[in-house]
Amino acid sequence: MDLNSLWFVLIAVLYTGFFILEGFDFGVGILLPILGKDDKTRRMMINTIGPHWDGNEVWLLAAGGATFAAFPEWYATMFSAFYLPLFLLLLALIVRGVAFEFRSKDQNPQWRSLWDWCIFTGSLVPPLLLGVAFANLVRGIPINENMTYTGGFFNLLNPYALVIGLMAVAVCVLHGAIFLEGKTSGELRAASHKAAVRAWPIALLLVITAAIGTYLSTDIVTQLGVNPGMIPLAGLATLALAGYFVRKNKTGWAFLMTSGTILLTLATYFLIMYPNVIVSSTDPAYNLTIYNASSSPYTLQVMTVVALIFVPIVLLYQGWSFWVFRGRITEESHLEY
Residue 226: per-residue pLDDT: 55
Asked, for residue 333, whether it belongs to a domain, the answer is no
CATH number assigned to the domain comprising residue 157: 1.20.1630.10
Residue 175: per-residue pLDDT: 97
How many domains does the chain contain in total? 1
Residue 335: per-residue pLDDT: 55
Residues with Cβ within 8 Å of 23's Cβ and at least 6 positions away in sequence, in order, are 127, 171, 172, 175, 176, 262
Asked, for residue 337, whether it belongs to a domain, the answer is no
pLDDT in tens, 261-295: 999 999 999 988 889 999 998 888 999 999 999 99
Is 293 within 8 Å of 71 (Cβ atoms)? Answer: yes
Residue 250: per-residue pLDDT: 94
Asked, for residue 334, whether it belongs to a domain, the answer is no
pLDDT in tens, 238-265: 999 999 999 999 999 999 999 999 999 9
Give me the domain span that covers residue 198: 3-323
Asked, for residue 112, whether it belongs to a domain, the answer is yes
Residue 197: per-residue pLDDT: 96
What gap in Å lies between CA 112 and CA 118, rounded to an integer? 10
Asked, for residue 7, whether it belongs to a domain, the answer is yes
Say what the pTM is. 0.92
Enumerate residue ranges in the chain where pLDDT < 70.
222-229, 333-337
Asked, for residue 271, whether it belongs to a domain, the answer is yes
Asked, for residue 11, whether it belongs to a domain, the answer is yes
Asked, for residue 297, whether it belongs to a domain, the answer is yes
Is 139 within 8 Å of 152 (Cβ atoms)? Answer: no
Which of 278, 268, 288 lies closest to 223, judged by CA?
A: 268
